[in-house]
Structure 1
Amino acid sequence: MHLAVPQSGVWKLARDGVPPYWAWCWPGGLVLAMHIMTNPQIVSGRTVLDLGTGSGLVAIAAAMRGANRVLACDTDPNAIVAARLSAALNSVSIQTSLADLLDGPVPAQEVILVGDLFYKAAFARRVVAFLDRCLSEKRQIYVGDIGREHLPRDRMLSIGTYPLIDFGEPATAEPRPAHAWRYIGRMA
């Protein structure tokens, strides 16, 4: 993966000494990628959208586990480049899209993957509205998250738990549970 480590060129993209958000393996993406790697039936033979792909980790996991086609989407052009380069490093093929899909139509892909997009309240509301529209069109939706404040737990079914250390915490920190979820929408 093309991530923010001292020997990578990613540091050249830093603003005020801070590398871009996508230059880390965020725990939601990491737990979702882990879950896909151990449960390939989620993506195998299907078309997949990795919403907010960042580094491309989740898209790459889907491609490695037999997805028919993978579209990695993000709003940051550098994230798109990093995802393409990281896919090449892993000898998999993904398509990329530089776009904000949240207010648009339901995408054609059968499976929607979402890692760590519930970090701000207003943004989380947009993501939930988008996912609800996707669910109404029979898309299968999987989410990875370490328990962020704005995660809509009442719309999720936990399908896997993995111990992870959150990005930015010291390596000596105690791992906490990160979840892979199936997005099921509002309960009746």
Structure 2
Amino acid sequence: MTTDRPAFIRAHTELASPPACPEIRLHLATEITPLWQATEDFLHGNNLPPPYWAFPWVGGQALSRYVLDTPDLVRGKRVLDFAAGCGMTAIAAVMAGASSAHAAEIDAVAAEAIGLNATANAVTVEVLLDDVLERPDCPWDVVLAGDVCYERPMAEKVFAWMRRCATAGCDILMADPGRSYLPRTGLMKVAAYTIACSLELEDRTSRDVVVYKVVG
């Protein structure tokens, strides 16, 4: 069994554009189940997380669309794509004129996918393979997070960190399709999109996604 992560990604994905962001090309899976099984078999016994990096989640699509449509948000600024997955939003930020873009991701295979996706779009994205929530500082001007409220412990920890960063003067934007653990306060709606999606990922063929600014 190969341990070549880039080869694994190329073998199990196709270069395609997410519905809301035709400007961006990503290594995406065409079906969920085969890739899930292949990921379990790949580097067997090493506890690889599910291949969330191979799908354009609706929160990330909405946030990336907003960044592309509102380039002044990131132009000339240092940007972090939190829980980046495929790195779509970091790529959008660079396309919109960010001076630098980091993609925070704890999955090593996702980190490789982000690098391949950045190359496919002729942009530079630096991957941070560590837990940025443990950092005492927030050295970015803008933090972007798509769809991070699907588990209560994570949502609470992430939102507390975001509030601290917002209080320190960082612009924090998050996009959410109505997940269960979206905070009830501290958010200001800035945009809304209807994003096409797969029934394999969601329980419908489109989701209404809201982009929020986190208020410190």
TM-score where L is the length of structure 2 = 0.77
CA contact (8 A) 2:77 2:99 kept: yes
Specify the alignment match of 1:95 in structure 2: 126
Separation in structure 2 between the aligned mates of residue 27 and residue 43 of structure 1, nearest angstrom = 20
Aligned to 2:5: none
For 1:72 and 1:25, locate their aligned partners in 2 and report how far apart those are by CA, in whole Å: 15
**Unaligned runs of at least 5 residues, structure 2:** 1-25, 43-48
Give, in whole Å, the separation in 2 of the partners of 1:102 and 1:49: 12
Structure 1's unaligned 5+ residue stretches are: none
| 1:23 shift after superposition | 1.2
The answer to which structure, 1 or 2, has the higher relative contact order (CA under 8 A, 6+ apart) is: 1
The answer for the alignment partner of 2:188 in structure 1 is 157
The one of 81, 86, 95 equivalent to 1:55 is 86
Q: Deviation at 1:14?
A: 2.0
Kindly indicate whether the alpha-carbon contact (under 8 Å) linking 2:199 and 2:205 is maintained by their aligned counterparts in 1.
no
Q: Is the 8 A contact 1:27 1:167 kept in 2?
A: no
> In 1, Cα distance between the equivalents of 2:85 and 2:200?
20
Percent of aligned positions with the same letter in both sequences?
34
The yes-or-no answer on 1:21 pairing with 2:46 is no
Partner Cα distance (1:35, 1:151) in 2:
19
Q: TM-score, normalised by structure 1?
A: 0.88
| Equivalences, count | 183
Is 2:137 the counterpart of 1:106?
yes
Asked if 1:2 corresponds to 2:27, the answer is yes
- How large is the RMSD of aligned CA atoms in angstroms? 2.5
Q: Distance in 1 between matches of 2:55 and 2:76?
A: 28
Q: 1:12 to 1:139 in 2, by over 3 A?
A: same
SS of equivalent residue, structure 1 residue 143? strand
Moved over 3 A (4+): 9-13, 16-19, 165-174
Report if the CA contact (8 A) 2:58-2:207 is conserved: no
- Cα offset for 1:155? 1.4
Answer yes or no: is 1:85 the counterpart of 2:116. Answer: yes
1-side partners of 2:131 and 2:203: how far apart? 37
Once the two structures are superposed, what CA deviation does each residue of 1:89-131 show, in whole Å capped at 9, x if it has no partner? 0011111110111122222111000111111001111101111
Q: CA deviation at 1:16?
A: 7.2
Shift in Å, 1:149: 0.8
Distance 1:36 1:75 in 2: 23
Residue number among 116, 120, 135 corresponding to 2:166 in the alignment: 135
Partner of 2:103: 72
**Aligned in 2, Cα 1:121/1:76: closer, same or farther, shift over 3 Å?**
same
Change beyond 3 A, Cα 1:150–1:166: farther
Q: Shift in Å at residue 147 of structure 1?
A: 1.0
> SS where residue 105 of structure 1 aligns?
coil
Report if the CA contact (8 A) 1:25-1:167 is conserved.
no
